[in-house]
Amino acid sequence: MKKESLFNLLFMALVILAFYFFYRILAPFLSILAWAVILTIIFYPLFSFVDRLYGGRRGWASLTTTLVVIIAIVIPSGFLLNLFARELLHIYQYCEQFIAAGKHVTLFEQLRQVKFLKGIGDVLDQYFDLSQTDLDTVLLDNLRKLNAYVAGQAPKFIKGVSTAILKFSLIAVTLFFFFKDGREVAAKIKALIPLSAKEREHVLKKIVEMIQATIYGGIVVALLQGGFGALGFFIVGLPAPLFWGTIMALLSFMHIVGPFMVWVPATVLLLIQGAYLKALILAIWGATLVSLLDNFLRPIIISGRTQVHPLLIFFSTLGGLAVFGLVGFIAGPLVITICLAIIDIYTAPPMRRTKNSRKTRSYRRR
């Protein structure tokens, strides 16, 4: 083997090894970098406006925009956490008072009158002697166990909050530098893409459009689902409609779970209480105006802006969540968009492809 070939092989091995360790070093922070990129694209119009106000002083503009993003995320998150904690405490106190007042006995008597549940009870009586069971003791004991379990999870909760704060701080720092140096980074990334200038702009434009459409579409759908969910809870007289509407809005971003995790148990609760008309209203309301809204509206919003078929958007979002986790609701459609953009470039008419390839070769010579 010639020395030149050996040198080339050694050089390629070093390059592969270097990039492998480069990936291993950044791998723990890929989700942080992904969220920073997403937030940069979403808030870049605001940064451009602030940059013009500061007369091109990008450092101050980046710092101001980053602070605005932090405030826009931290204040609503703090409000939701406070609301969530208060509602959990209220639910616990209500359950404790409900059991202490003996209202659960009346509830179980009502349940025994339901034919379906009565049949289940008769079957269970054949195998278990439920007459010797003291419901008061069992329910209160389990409630105390639940309280002890929640208290025992406090260290894990504190650790989780600390980790979330650390990750958010890293996202904020990364966001600042993406605002400040994003143009230079984007220019270097563009130079690495082996396409003509026009084709590179086409691919990157599609990527930006998909991210913006996914985020903005997701926010619109979440607000509508949360609003309709809260209104449905208010109509049927369920407590804390604003809180549960907020929970449904947050669950809207998680397609695998979704708002039905809130309104379905609420419907069952109304059925148990004997409020059959309210249960029917909430079931129809939740199935049509809350859950189905996501399946129809989100693909239409994203498809209308990105020119990607709604069915493909739907499956790519579900697949993205399964593969990438929460960030997958953006990453899934984004991967599909990149693939479709590349296919669009290479299935262009022959004359256009030849023209573009000449541009690419001339660009590489330069």
Backbone angle region of 273, left / alpha / beta, with phi > 0 → left and psi within -120 to 50 → alpha: alpha
Buried residues in 163-196 as b, exposed as e (16+ CB within 10 A): eeeeebeebbebbbebbbebeeeeeeeeeeeebb
Helices (H), 128-259: 135-152, 154-192, 197-235, 241-251
Residue that the structure tokens 């049509």 belong to: 288
Q: Which two tokens stand for residue 218?
A: 């997701």
Q: Which two tokens stand for residue 221?
A: 């759908």
Residues 6+ apart with CB under 8 A from 57: 51
pLDDT of residue 170: 92
Please tell me the distance from the alpha carbon of residue 357 to that of residue 341, in angstroms, as a whole number.
16
pLDDT of residue 182: 82
Q: Which residues of the chain fall below pLDDT 70?
A: 1-3, 98-140, 143, 146-147, 150-151, 153, 255-257, 302-307, 310, 348-366
pLDDT of residue 359: 46
Q: By three-state DSSP, how is residue 214 classified? A: helix
CA 209 to chain centre: 18
Residue spans per domain, the chain = 30-101+135-185, 193-366
Per-residue pLDDT reduced to its tens digit, 259-309 = 888 888 888 888 877 788 888 898 898 888 888 877 777 777 766 666 677
pLDDT of residue 108: 63
Q: Are 198 and 356 in contact (CB under 8 A)?
A: yes
**Length, in residues, of the chain:** 366
The terminus-to-terminus CA distance of the chain in angstroms comes to: 33
pLDDT of residue 133: 57
Q: Are 99 and 146 in contact (CB under 8 A)?
A: no
Q: Which of 166, 143, 162 is nearest to 154 (CA)?
A: 162
Please tell me the distance from the alpha carbon of residue 365 to that of residue 342, in angstroms, as a whole number.
23
Q: Which two tokens stand for residue 306?
A: 């990105």
